[in-house]
């Protein structure tokens, strides 16, 4: 089995387990930074780890992040995982949360899967091969998923208004100022609020034109979506200098970034 199939199956299995928690009553704990944590986070982490331990590469997950830089800096390849991206969306039941799995090589995401269990959308991107979106009827991966899926970017209506996608739960005054400049340039804007790494994917598929993230994120928040973007010929670039995001830094905090067509 190739790695694209493997991480897709891992993401789908994790998504099914997440929904078992989501569809019932659950309790919410809080980390030291006050971000929410649920049983779904840990269950998803366990399932994905079981899949990825079958590969030759080590795993760095949001739910297992305490690996010293001295150790992980020696990794040429490793998996970077967010078992449940958008826990706030999970808690408020918007359905806009994702499972994110990415393979990083020398600071660059080269393979990624983003799965949203409620919507059953699966995005997969592989360097040198391309990127796809699958709209699944259930949580099963079709055998011929590249033929069953839609190649990204999609061929959509380009006559629509200039569309900005932004965070539902992480706004900033800097983002508001950036959007105001876009409005002066493009006129009336269409603004789409969305949670989790789906924002990156909406730009890549062509539903939105730009996603400005002028607020904090961590490397595991963006890696899988970034892999899909790069595989489709897009870039997730640093706001300050236009360079691509880098991964496996000593400090895992991302700089501000822009995703655009």
Q: Please choose, from the candidates 195, 140, 183, 156, the residue with its C-alpha nearest in 3D space to the C-alpha of residue 13.
A: 140
If asked whether residues 8 and 137 sit together in one domain, one would say yes
CATH code of the domain in which 108 resides: 3.30.540.10
Structural contact between residues 4 and 124, judged by C-beta atoms closer than 8 angstroms: yes
Q: Beta-strand (E) ranges in 107-222?
A: 108-116, 121-126, 130-135, 150-151, 163-167, 190-194, 210-213
If asked whether residues 65 and 189 sit together in one domain, one would say no
pTM here?
A: 0.94
State the average pLDDT over residues 154-160. Answer: 77
What pLDDT score does 34 carry?
66
- Domain residue limits at 204: 163-260
State the average pLDDT over residues 162-168. Answer: 88
Residue 5 assigned ligand-binding role: no
- Chain centroid to Cα 162, Å, comes to 23
Residue 62 assigned ligand-binding role: yes
> What is the C-alpha separation between 86 and 105, in angstroms, rounded?
25
Flag whether pLDDT at 51 surpasses 80: yes
Residue 85 assigned ligand-binding role: yes
Residue 174 assigned ligand-binding role: no
Residue 86 assigned ligand-binding role: yes
């Amino acid at each position: 089995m190739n790695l694209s199939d493997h991480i897709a199956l891992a993401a789908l299995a994790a998504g099914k387990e997440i929904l078992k928690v989501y569809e019932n009553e659950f309790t919410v704990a809080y980390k030291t930074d006050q971000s929410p944590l649920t049983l779904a986070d840990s269950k998803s982490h366990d399932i994905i780890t079981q899949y990825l331990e079958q590969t030759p590469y080590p795993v760095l997950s949001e739910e297992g992040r305490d690996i010293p830089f001295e150790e992980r800096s020696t990794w040429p390849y490793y998996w970077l995982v967010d078992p449940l991206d958008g826990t706030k969306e999970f808690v408020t039941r918007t359905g806009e949360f994702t499972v994110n799995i990415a393979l990083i090589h020398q600071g660059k995401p080269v393979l990624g899967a983003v799965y949203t269990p409620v919507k059953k959308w699966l995005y997969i991107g592989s360097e040198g091969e391309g990127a796809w979106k699958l709209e699944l009827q259930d949580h099963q991966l079709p055998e011929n998923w590249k033929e069953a899926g839609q190649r990204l970017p999609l061929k959509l209506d380009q006559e629509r208004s200039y569309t900005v996608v932004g965070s539902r739960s992480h706004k900033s005054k800097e983002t508001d100022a950036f959007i105001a400049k876009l409005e002066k340039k493009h006129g009336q804007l269409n603004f789409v609020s969305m949670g989790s790494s789906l924002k990156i994917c909406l730009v890549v598929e062509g539903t939105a034109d730009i996603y400005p993230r002028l607020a904090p994120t961590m490397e595991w928040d963006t890696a899988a979506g970034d892999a899909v973007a790069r595989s489709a010929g897009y870039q997730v670039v640093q706001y300050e200098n236009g360079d691509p995001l880098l991964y496996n830094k000593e400090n895992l905090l991302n700089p501000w970034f822009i995703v655009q067509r």
